Structure 1
Amino acid sequence: MIKTIIFDFGNVFINLNLEGHTQHALKAYEIETFSEEMIAFNSFYEQGLISTAEFLEFYTENFPKLSTKEFIDIWNFMLKDFPIHRLDFLKQLKSDSKYNLILLSNTNELHINWIKKHISFYETFKSYFDVFYLSHEIGLRKPNQDIFEFALNENKLSAEECLFIDDNIDNINTAKELDLNVWNINPKTDDITNLFTIKKNLF
């Protein structure tokens, strides 16, 4: 029996353009692929292991043609709209009080600042969760096993009583290894508001 629902943020509530972002960034940087160093810095930043100032300094030094503002715009390019019907769904879920609601998201400071500025109901959205975990605030990121163990231990949860929802298959696979129930949501065909139809066997 599901007692706790653990949600990802991107492509579950807020829409992302991941493929478009990659192509946009490669074109702007005038490179064909991301270096291992860039990937590492992105990961460090997402975990809050380096500051926004350090992160921006790394990129502006490596790509001096780009201003800090231009880089921030490139970095935030993936962030799109947050359909209001998903907020309404979450509000109803919260008011029903049947489940413990947790957000577990790989989100960095620049992205959350953009969201706070452009999504007017962000604080309302946040208030509907019992616990709200952003990777850069807790120093952990998916798909590493430790972030799931952290969420389970901090909230004294049984994995078998949790449903984890994420669009990333690597994240899903780690959750499955820890015996969480999962829904690998497809943002092109699925919507979080159809949760109880698509995963009705769990409820």
Structure 2
Amino acid sequence: MIKTIIFDFGNVFINLDIEGHIQNALKAFKIESFPEEMIAFNDFYEQGLISTNEFLEFYTENFPKLSNDEIIDIWNFMLKDFPENRLDFLKQLKSDSKYKLILLSNTNELHIDWIKKHVPFYEAFKNCFDVFYLSHEIHLRKPNRDIYEFVLNENKLNANECLFIDDNTDNTNTAKELGINAWNIIPKTDDITNLFTVKKDLF
């Protein structure tokens, strides 16, 4: 029996254009692929292990023709719209009070700043959750096992009583390894508002 639902943020509530973001970044940086150092630096930033200033310094040093604002625009390119019917669904879940609701997202400071500025109901969204975990605030990130263990331990949860919803297969696979039920949502065909139809066997 599911008692806790753990949600990802991107492509579950807010739409992302990940492929468009990759192509836009490669074109803007005039590179054919992302070097390992850049990928590692992005991961550090997502975990809050480096500051936004350090993150921007890294990029301006490597791409001196680009300004801070241009780098921020490239970085935030993936963030798109947040359909309000998903908020309505979440509000209904909250009001029903049947489940503990947790957000668990790989989200960095620049992205959350953009969301606060462009999603007018961000605070209402955040207030629907019993616990709200962003990777840069807890210094852990998916799909590493320790972030799931942290959530289970912090909230005294039984893995088999949790459902984790994420659009990334690596993230849902790690959850499953720990005994957590998981829904690997496919953004092009699935929508979080259909949760109780798609996963009716769990409820």
AA of the residue aligned to 1:75? W
AA of the residue aligned to 1:198? V
Give 1:2 deviation, angstroms: 0.1
Looking at structure 1, the residues matched to 32 and 145 of structure 2 have their Cα atoms a distance apart, in angstroms, of 31
Give 1:137 deviation, angstroms: 0.1
Q: Structure 1: state its 5+ residue gaps.
A: none
Percent identity (aligned):
82
AA of the residue aligned to 1:200? K
Instruction: Write out the 4+ residue segments of structure 1 that deviate beyond 6 Å after TM superposition.
Output: none
Give 1:120 deviation, angstroms: 0.4
For 1:59-90, what per-residue CA distance to the aligned partner results, in whole angstroms no more than 9, with x for missing partners? 01000011100000000000000000000000
Looking at structure 2, the residues matched to 153 and 104 of structure 1 have their Cα atoms a distance apart, in angstroms, of 14
Give 1:147 deviation, angstroms: 0.2
Looking at structure 2, the residues matched to 99 and 60 of structure 1 have their Cα atoms a distance apart, in angstroms, of 45
Q: Please name the residue that 1:141 is paired with.
A: 141
- Local SS of the residue matching 1:132: strand
Give 1:92 deviation, angstroms: 0.1
Looking at structure 2, the residues matched to 56 and 189 of structure 1 have their Cα atoms a distance apart, in angstroms, of 35
Q: Please name the residue that 1:48 is paired with.
A: 48
Looking at structure 1, the residues matched to 60 and 144 of structure 2 have their Cα atoms a distance apart, in angstroms, of 29
Q: Please name the residue that 2:194 is paired with.
A: 194
For 1:139-179, what per-residue CA distance to the aligned partner results, in whole angstroms no more than 9, with x for missing partners? 00000000000000000000000000000000011000000
- Local SS of the residue matching 2:182: strand
- Local SS of the residue matching 1:103: strand
Q: Please name the residue that 1:160 is paired with.
A: 160
Q: Root-mean-square deviation (CA), in Å?
A: 0.2
Q: Please name the residue that 1:65 is paired with.
A: 65
Give 1:37 deviation, angstroms: 0.3
Listed as ranges, the matches of 1:7-22 within 5 Å are 7-22=7-22
Looking at structure 1, the residues matched to 172 and 59 of structure 2 have their Cα atoms a distance apart, in angstroms, of 31
Number of aligned residues: 203
AA of the residue aligned to 1:155? N
- Local SS of the residue matching 1:104: strand
Looking at structure 2, the residues matched to 106 and 200 of structure 1 have their Cα atoms a distance apart, in angstroms, of 27
- Local SS of the residue matching 2:103: strand
Listed as ranges, the matches of 1:27-176 within 5 Å are 27-176=27-176
Q: Structure 2: state its 5+ residue gaps.
A: none
AA of the residue aligned to 1:195? L
Q: Please name the residue that 2:181 is paired with.
A: 181
